Structure 1
Amino acid sequence: MPTSDYLNVGQVSGVFGVKGWVKVYSFTDPRENILQYSPWILRKNNQIHEVKLLGGRRQGSLVVANLQDINDRDAAAELMGSDILILRQQLPKPDADEYYWADLIGLEVQNQEGCKLGKVDHLLETGANDVLVVVDGDIERLIPFLQQSTILKVDLDGGVIVVDWDPDF
């Protein structure tokens, strides 16, 4: 299956207790949303295997999870450092004018005059709004993700985001 079919939603960051539970650093918002997806595909050292999520809960800034057939601390420790992947089709379809960050990464960004500004490297969450980090060689631009303001058009099929942005800024 192509890697574009998978989304990285977190990482196993440690063990929790003696019964095989794992600590998870979740990339979902809110963090405990990672518990809505099962199975998880765990990837470590280019090896992948599927595990069924039996349960879990928020534990401070982390999430703890109980995985099928992981019954002791040693088995849980083996999973530390594993990326937690899910299949893209496990996600609900976004509403019109809503996008998953993973779908924006790698898109070409250009202004309305057609000047190419680079590609979306990643996004930042600032509280007020999300920000596209657009990289073009050594140049890095931070463009607020404000639809109908700085973000004029997102064309996922065409692989382009059109922005109202000065290339010198």
Structure 2
Amino acid sequence: MENDDRLRVGVITSPHGIHGEVNVFPTTDDPQRFKKLKKVYINKKKDTLECEIESVKFFKNMVILKFSGMDDRNEMEKYRQCDLMIDREDAEPLGEDEYFICDLIGLDIIDEADNKIGTLKDVMTSAANDVYVVEKNDGRELLIPAIRDCILETDLEKKTIKVHLLPGL
């Protein structure tokens, strides 16, 4: 399966303990989803390693994972800062008007008259709402709150996000 068919659910931050566990910073909306996963993929530069999940624990804002057959802290050290990926079909179902961030990055941002404003470069998450980071046509950065008043339509087929720019943006 291609990496494009996979979604990032976390980043290994460090080994945990001496028996091969790792601390994972979750990049998913619901860290509890790790309990349902049977396998993940560790992306290490150009290599991808499929790992069966043996156990899942939680501590503060971290997920602690143990992979089958990986029992040495030193072995796990080499996976520090590696992304944890899942197959797209193992992802939680999305609700209406919900999208995976990786599917939005690179979409053209257009105004209500279909004029291109720029390209979506990143999505910042916050407690209140997500914020779209747009690289404008002139190279400057524009921040657009991902709220119904601003995001009018997302069309993955046309690769566009139609927005209404509030005064002051």
**Displacement, 1:110?**
0.2
Describe the shift of the 1:168–1:110 C-alpha distance in structure 2 as closer, same or farther (beyond 3 A): farther
Unaligned runs of 5+ in 1: none
How many angstroms apart in 2 are the aligned matches of 1:132 and 1:145? Answer: 6
> What percent identity do the matched residue pairs reach?
27
Which residue of 2 is the match for residue 128 of structure 1? 128
Residues 83-130 of structure 1: per-residue CA shift (max 9 Å, x gap): 211111111331222222222111111001112111111111232221
Q: Please report the TM-score for the alignment, with normalisation by the length of structure 1.
A: 0.89
SS at structure 2 position matched to 1:119: strand
> Structure 1 residue 167: deviation in Å?
10
**Which residue number in structure 2 is paired with residue 101 of structure 1?**
101
Q: Which residue of 1 aligns with 2:85?
A: 85
Gaps in structure 2 of 5+ consecutive residues: none
CA–CA distance in structure 1, aligned partners of residues 51 and 115 of structure 2:
46
Q: Is the 8 A contact 1:32 1:57 kept in 2?
A: no
Q: Within 5 Å, which residues of 2 pair with 1:1-169? A: 1-136=1-136, 137-147=138-148, 149-165=149-165, 169=169
Q: Considering only aligned residues, what root-mean-square deviation do their CA atoms show, in Å?
A: 2.0
Q: How many residue pairs are counted as aligned between the two chains?
A: 168
Residue 52 of structure 1 aligns to a residue in which SS?
Answer: strand
State which drifts further: 73-82 or 130-139: 73-82
Structure 1's 16 and 4: CA in aligned 2 closer, same or farther, altered over 3 A? Answer: same
The TM-score normalised by the length of structure 2 is 0.89
**Which whole-Å deviations, capped at 9, do the CAs of 1:38-76 have from their partners, x for residues lacking one?**
311111131111000111111122211110101122222
* 8 Å CA contact 1:26, 1:32 repeated in 2: no
Matched residues in 2 for 1:32 and 1:92: separation?
Answer: 11
Q: Secondary structure at the match of 2:65?
A: strand
Report if aligned partners of 1:117, 1:167 keep a CA contact under 8 Å in 2.
no
Distance in structure 2 (CA, Å) of the matches to 1:108 and 1:167: 21
Q: 1:165 corresponds to which letter in structure 2?
A: L
> For the Cα contact (< 8 Å) 1:111–1:166, is it kept in 2?
no
Question: After the TM superposition, which of the residue ranges 12-21 and 24-33 deviates more from structure 2?
Answer: 24-33
Q: 1:116/1:167 Cα in 2 relative to 1: closer, same or farther (>3 Å)?
A: farther
Determine the C-alpha separation between the residues in 1 that align with 2:153 and 2:51: 39
* CA deviation after TM superposition for structure 1 residue 37, in Å: 2.7
Instruction: Work out the CA distance in 1 between the residues paired with 2:84 and 2:157.
Output: 27
- Contact 2:53–2:65, Cα closer than 8 Å, also in 1: yes
Rate the CA distance shift 1:164–1:126 in 2: closer, same or farther, 3 A: same
Q: Contact 2:150/2:166 (CA < 8 Å) preserved in 1? A: no
